[in-house]
Amino acid sequence: MKITLKLALAIAAFALCSNVSAQNKIAHINMEELIVSMPEYESAMESLQKVAQELEEAIESMTVEFNRKLDEFQRNNESWSDLVRQSKNQELLQLQQRAQAFQEQAQESYQMEQGKLMQPVLEKANKAVENVAKEQGVDYVLSGNPQILIFKAISTLDLLPAVKEHLGIKK
């Protein structure tokens, strides 16, 4: 008798939870597609491209200098005294180390700049999704990216068109 009562209460609780969850409105959005379509993204990418080009030019300049000194070393190696040869060899090693250190710093600098430029874009996109979801009474927003999506119910609402409209994106 006690088991039957507990079972009945468990079934009632499950039915109540199922009824509540059935009322939840679920939507999906492909955030990558949204972000790439934003004008702020294009602007950020243009700025990032300029940073990358500047860093690449500096690395290229260092490479040219190293190659010039290496060529000089190889051409004159036999005619130099041991002391000059050691000095030039040490100079080459220092140039190589400096270039490697600069490349590492350049990569870190690029990543920091990317984060700095993309942060406002991501915040704007997330805020827009949140606003549209509230406007449309959506309880849960799932990733609509086909590479990430685990399951897509037939009846989910795609927020991408509404969020693009909210942001004034016509693409």
Please compute the mean of the pLDDT values over residues 14-36 and round it to a whole number: 72
Q: Which element (helix H / strand E) includes 67? A: helix 39-76
CA-wise closest residue to 132 among 102, 167, 105: 167
Please compute the mean of the pLDDT values over residues 5-28 and round it to a whole number: 57
Determine the pLDDT at residue 19. Answer: 46
Determine the pLDDT at residue 146. Answer: 60
Please state the φ and ψ torsions of residue 158, each to the nearest 5 degrees.
Answer: -90, 115
Structure tokens at 127: 């805020």
Query: What does pLDDT average to over the chain?
Result: 84
At 168 the three-state DSSP class reads coil
Distance CA 144, CA 135 (A): 19
Q: Is the pLDDT of residue 29 over 50?
A: yes
Determine the pLDDT at residue 50. Answer: 96
Determine the pLDDT at residue 28. Answer: 86
pLDDT tens digits along 84-97 = 999 999 999 999 99
Residue reference for tokens 């300029």:
50
Determine the pLDDT at residue 22. Answer: 53
What one-letter code names the amino acid at 31?
M
For domain 25-167, give the fold: Protein Binding, DinI Protein; Chain A (3.30.910)
The residue with greater pLDDT, 19 or 157, is 157
Q: Is the pLDDT of residue 6 over 60?
A: no
Distance CA 106, CA 85 (A): 31
What are the domain boundaries of the chain? 25-167
Q: According to the 3-state scheme, what is the secondary structure of 132-160?
A: HHHHCCCCEEEECCCCCCCCCCCCCEECH
pLDDT tens digits along 114-168 = 999 999 999 999 999 999 988 988 888 887 766 554 444 556 678 888 888 888 9
Determine the pLDDT at residue 35. Answer: 94
Q: Of 37-41, 76-80, 138-142, where does mean pLDDT reach its minimum?
A: 138-142
Please state the φ and ψ torsions of residue 24, each to the nearest 5 degrees.
Answer: -70, 140
